[in-house]
Amino acid sequence: MKRIVKVAIVSMLFTILLYVNAFAETKEVKLNVDKDYTNAIFYITWDNVEEKGSVELISPDGKVYSKEKTSDNVYEANGEAIVNVGQPAKGEWTIKVSGDNLGVVKVEAGQLPNSMVINSFSVEAKDDKYIAKYSISDCPEQVQIEVFADTDNEGFDGEKVYSGTGGPSGEAELSFGNLKPCEYHFYIRVSKDGVFKRAYTDSVISISRKDSQKKVKDVKGGKYNDGYYISWTNENENDRKTVYVWDKDMNLISEVETEAGDTLYYGDFKDSDEKVYLAVVDGNDCNYDKIEVNRDTTVDANVVYDVEENATNHKFIIADVTINGKAVIDAWLNDELMLEGETESGKYRINMSDGDNVVVFRITDEKNNVITFTKNIYVDTVPPALSIADDIDNSITSKDYIYISGYSEEGAVLTLNGREIEMEKGYFNEKVRLKLGKNAIKLVAIDVAGNESQYSATVTHEMSKSNRRKLYIITGVLIILVVVYMIVFIKGIKRRRKK
């Protein structure tokens, strides 16, 4: 059971009041303690109840009380602070109050009365009534008893459902009035002469409208990819609903009013969430059923598309869908339903149009958990532009090289005789080495979708006239030399034979 002590002294055996205008960020107050207290507290308040301040008390013997040094003894909140100093040293105490625009600061000191320890507190349903039971020790004969309904188990910021007086133990029937249907943690506030204690119950009570049969229709929910969802059906086109989300301890972590006409709410798990509970209501007179969603839930299914890339020159793709167990397959192409209510694994063909396409396969298992498989794909069946500045096909040149230049679309891959060449903003100018005779030149542009454009040319490399003349002369000289050599060689053979 969570407990917190908040002490406000209204009537004490001895009270010293000191007022000071606090306009600076930190104000120092001197307070003389000359009484014999056994368990004293300082109660500090300021005019601006919306502003939270911090306090530091320094005793005459130098001991410091602050949130940082003695956290168990100090309570700080908007408009007030309480410090329990036990048996205080006599003499002058220094109180420092820090904050912005606090206004007038008031300091009270005195003896702490009964401790009023809350031993037990519970709320239970009994014959269509809700009964709070409590037990308090070290308690006066009569104390103020208040019970509050809170949507979480911290903060003590709930709605009062009971107020009365009682002794150290007893029961109280709670009145919920216009309390909206929800999951509630209850806490009790026990007070006497300004001193109070509070504590939450350990359990959660679900409050519903016994006199109402109203419920939102067709509610379902579960895991949705890595998050969670809840869906429903509206009776009217512009209906608005309220969605509740609780954590595993049934603390309300989200209360969202939907937009007009919405029929789906999606949320993400926080790092600390093991599970959440979901519900949807239509007004404060509407009851609901909770949906439990566990973070580690998975849908045993898979979808594999036959195209891994995000662009293609084919007007269809194949989705290979595998489901294990009972599940329903739905699919959309560009937000248009193309497949509904299929229950079998298989391969599904999706016909697409040129341009951007979004394919979504949604698989829902028998417990309404959902997984989706999305494919964003661009269909392009138009070959890339490929323009040649000067057509070199069937050209003849005496040079051992030739330039080929032109333009292709940016993003395309351009190859020249199988070798990739660079483009600058789509333009290219490439030098091609030639061998004597005919040379085949092939330029290929391929875009991201796989479309292809080609340019082919044949270039003949011939020698120039001057080079041919030189070749003729050299060839003639070589022939003469060969003839001379043959004559000399033959004559030499004849001489050897005569000898």
> Which pLDDT tens digit goes with each residue over 206-235?
988 777 788 999 999 999 999 999 999 999
Ramachandran quadrant class, 275 (left: phi over 0; alpha: psi -120 to 50; beta: rest): beta
**What is the second-level CATH architecture of the domain 117-207?**
Sandwich (2.60)
Confidence of residue 474 (pLDDT cuts 50, 70, 90): confident
pTM beyond 0.75, yes or no: no
- The pLDDT assigned to 240 comes to 93
Tens digit of each residue's pLDDT (9 = 90 or more) over 141-189: 899 999 999 999 998 999 999 999 999 999 999 998 888 899 999 999 9
| Phi, psi torsion values for 130, nearest 5 degrees | -115, 120
Terminal Cα-to-Cα distance of the chain (whole angstroms): 139
Most confident of 126-130, 372-376, 406-410: 372-376
> Which of 91, 29, 85, 34 lies closest to 60, judged by CA?
91
Burial of 387 (0-12, 13-18, 19+ CB in 10 A): middle
Residue with tokens 């506030």: 189
Residue 58 CA to chain centroid, in angstroms?
47
**Residue 467: strand, helix, or coil:** helix
Q: Are 41 and 12 in contact (CB under 8 A)?
A: no
pLDDT band at 19 (very low <50, low <70, confident <90, very high): very low
Report the CATH number of the 3-111 domain: 2.60.120.380
Q: Please determine, for residue 439, whether its predicted confidence score (pLDDT) is greater than 80.
A: yes
User: What pLDDT score does 320 carry?
Assistant: 96
Please state which CATH number belongs to domain 301-379: 2.60.40.10
**Per-residue confidence (pLDDT) for residue 17, from 0 to 100:** 43
Confidence of residue 369 (pLDDT cuts 50, 70, 90): very high
d(CA 58, CA 53): 17
217-294 CATH, one of 3.40.50.1370, 2.60.40.10, 2.40.50.100, 3.40.50.1110: 2.60.40.10
* Amino acid letter, 454: Q
Q: Where are the domains of the chain?
A: 3-111, 117-207, 217-294, 301-379, 386-461, 467-499
Residue 258 has pLDDT above 70, yes or no: yes
Choices 3.40.30.10, 1.10.760.10, 3.40.50.1100, 2.60.40.10: CATH for 386-461: 2.60.40.10
Give the list of residues 6+ apart from residue 213 with CB closer than 8 angstroms, or none: 287
Q: What angle do CA 71, 72, 73 make, to 5 degrees?
A: 90
Please state, in angstroms and rounded to a whole number, the distance separating the CA atoms of residues 368 and 328. Answer: 10
H or E element at residue 473: helix 465-498
Question: pLDDT, tens digit, for every residue of 80-132?
Answer: 898 988 889 999 999 999 998 888 888 888 777 677 889 999 999 888 889 99
Provide the sign of the torsion angle of the four alpha carbons 307, 313, 318, 319, taken in this order: positive
What average pLDDT does this structure show over 31-46? Answer: 85
Give the per-residue pLDDT at 196.
85
